[in-house]
Amino acid sequence: MEKTEVSSPMFDIYSWVAKACLKLWPLCLVQLLFLILQYATLFTCLALLFGPFAARNLDRITEGLSHPQDYDWTPVISDWASTFSDPGWLAIAAGLLLLYITWWCVLSALSDGGVFRTFWDYFQNGRPFSWGSFFWEAIHWMIPMLWLEFFLSLWAFGAFLVWLVVVLVVTGILALTGFNVWMVVLAGVLLGLPSILIWILFSLAFAVFSFLCKACLTQGMTAREAIHRAFLKFKADRWRVGLGLLVAFLVYLGVSIFLRVVLKLFSLIPFAGIFFSLLDLALGIGLTLFMVVYISGLAVGYLQDEARV
């Protein structure tokens, strides 16, 4: 198969990976399958959690929605408050939350393991997509991928703790000044807006960095080795790889936002607006699935030139 080098122009690499994604198009169906499983589990947990409350108050809610201005919502609110204060219900909610997080992590690990190994097999050996091979690799890499998710979550939690410490220190200083209005405004200008920008940049960089970590992991490394290797690769050649992944992700965000805004405007058209609303939903899901597959392939593609790290 035709290959390109990481030292090639950026758009040549993008084009090369895009062609690979078209060859491996069933990966988008796989992502859709895992997405359905995730949301089916979410809605099942929500039904188990809020189903009894909805069943008890269905008639009241229906009547209240029919006469919203005159209806007395006190019985519904009282039942809602008693439900949330019930220790048994809180224990069930905590258990379902833990169950869903575990299920989401397992599905994510299975999906990532299969997707990244499929790209590795295609780039290195020209092997086409195979359902049997995909699920074999997904199961094989599930545990290492879970460990990688754990270590990456520690990084994200550490960044949050640093931000929290800064906020607490600033709040303490403002408290010493009696929360002077000018000091609060100054803190908001000097720290508030920059912290928002820093969090946006960190979130974007961390998202694409995690893709590179998963690509390194499925190359045959441990979770810690993959993170270290991904960091070296991320900043190699004057951050060429990191910027390449980030630009691709930003292009996706820009195109997605533009198309969805246009479709939102068309959805305001009487009658025909329903079609554009459905198209907006389908386009949003489709672009997201393709982005996940494409960035995964791009991360693997950048790792082809191992000698440049």
Answer yes or no: is 5 within a domain. Answer: no
Answer yes or no: is 117 within a domain. Answer: yes
Answer yes or no: is 284 within a domain. Answer: yes
Answer yes or no: is 2 within a domain. Answer: no
Domain that residue 59 falls in = 10-308
Answer yes or no: is 3 within a domain. Answer: no
pLDDT at 2: 47
200, pLDDT greater than 50: yes
Q: Taking a C-beta distance cutoff of 8 angstroms, is the pair 293, 246 a contact?
A: no
- Residue 120 CB coordination number (10 Å): 20
DSSP character for 306? G
Q: Taking a C-beta distance cutoff of 8 angstroms, is the pair 263, 280 a contact?
A: yes
Three-class DSSP category at 301 = helix
Answer yes or no: is 216 within a domain. Answer: yes
Inter-CA distances, 222 with 174, 218, 226, 228, 272, Å: 45, 9, 6, 10, 53
Percent of the chain at pLDDT exceeding 70 = 89
32-91: pLDDT as tens digits: 999 899 889 989 888 888 888 888 877 777 777 777 677 677 777 887 888 888 888 888
Mean pLDDT is lowest, of 9-13, 17-21, 49-53, 275-279, for 9-13
Q: Which residues contact 218 (CB under 8 A, 6 or more apart)?
A: 112, 113, 116, 117, 120, 137, 141, 300
Indicate the number of domains in the chain: 1
Q: What is the pTM of this model?
A: 0.81
